[in-house]
Amino acid sequence: MTSKYYQQFKHTYLAVDCVTFCFTGEDLEIILIKRDFEPGYGEWALPGIFLEPDESLEECTQRIMKRFTGLENVFFEQFHIFSDPKRDPGDRIVTVGFYALIKVDNNVKKKVSEHKAYWYKLSRMPKLMFDHNQIVDRALESLRQKVKQQPVGFELLPKKFTIPQLQKLYEAIYSRSFDKRNFRKKVLSLKVLEQLAEKDKESSKKGAFLYRFDKKKYLALQKKGYNFEI
């Protein structure tokens, strides 16, 4: 079945490494695992697996997510391929960098701990295996870019969230603070948030109104060219 012409060429090991972002309410964190085989045994690494012959890279990424967090239909995006022939001392491995955005719940926590995996704050990344620190840096850069063009931040928040929560998320993504009046004005001006009657009283006595992301309105907005520069 393989084309004759193709047979003269060599194959390559192709892997996916996934930077799995989640939001604690205060910080952006990613999942790291303790590598349990050589090379790199005992070092911190991104969850990753090899591509199977009959799956696309996107299916492969879903497989990583399923294995390490139990989640399906996660939002993710490929952002860069790392192909330095010497990047992995064990062999020539080309790896595709994906980032995923997840909401953490107890099921996820359980699954993650089964894999001896841990969350680490982006602001306190340890030294990672091989070129994984670069992969993380690049993932964050791509996420920052993405956030300006699509309201992907909602992937990291519960279905109902408050505006101060949303602002803290954006502050975590950009590592800077925003003026709360301007922030609120800007997100509401996009008209993709629906205010609910309920309030969230977890973080203040007064309580903050909950909002829901309105996908229909967003799709209409996207046609006109979404823009969310803060």
Partner DNA sequence: GCAAAAGTGTTCGGGCTACACCCATGA
Partner DNA sequence: TCATGGGTGTAGCCCGAACACTTTTGC
**Out of DNA, a second copy, none, which partner does residue 4 contact, by CB within 5 to 8 A per kind?**
a second copy
Contacts by residues 199-206 (CB-CB < 8 Å, ≥ 24 positions apart): 200/160, 200/161, 200/162, 200/165, 203/162, 203/164, 203/165
Does residue number 179 form part of the binding site for DNA (CB under 7 A)?
A: yes
Choose the stretch contacting a second copy; rule: CB under 8 A; options: 31-39, 116-124, 179-187, 206-214: 31-39
Query: Binding of DNA at residue 148 (CB under 7 A)?
Result: no
**Rounded to whole angstroms, how far apart are CA atoms 114 and 145?**
33
Please state whether beta strands 193-200 and 208-213 pair in parallel, antiparallel, or not at all (unpaired): antiparallel
131 half-sphere exposure, CB direction, 13 A CA radius = 20
Q: Is 141 in the site for a second copy (CB under 8 A)?
A: no
Of positions 12, 123, 203, 222, contacts DNA by CB under 7 A? 203
CB of 205 to a second copy, least distance (A): 39
Q: Which of 75, 118, 119, 209 binds DNA (CB under 7 A)?
A: 209
In this structure, how many other beta carbons lie within 10 angstroms of the beta carbon of residue 101? 21
Give the bridge partners for 48, in sequence order: 17
Work out what residue 206 binds among a second copy, DNA, none; the CB cut-off runs from 5 to 8 Å by kind: DNA
In the list 26, 52, 114, 141, the residue contacting a second copy (rule: CB under 8 A) is 52
Q: Is 207 in the site for DNA (CB under 7 A)?
A: yes
Q: Which is nearer to a second copy, 119 or 228 (CB)?
A: 228
| Cα atoms found within 13 Å of the Cα of residue 104, Cβ hemisphere only | 19
Residue that the structure tokens 């602001």 belong to: 123
**Site of interaction with a second copy (CB under 8 A):** 1-6, 9-14, 37-39, 50-58, 78, 80-81, 83-85, 90-94, 96
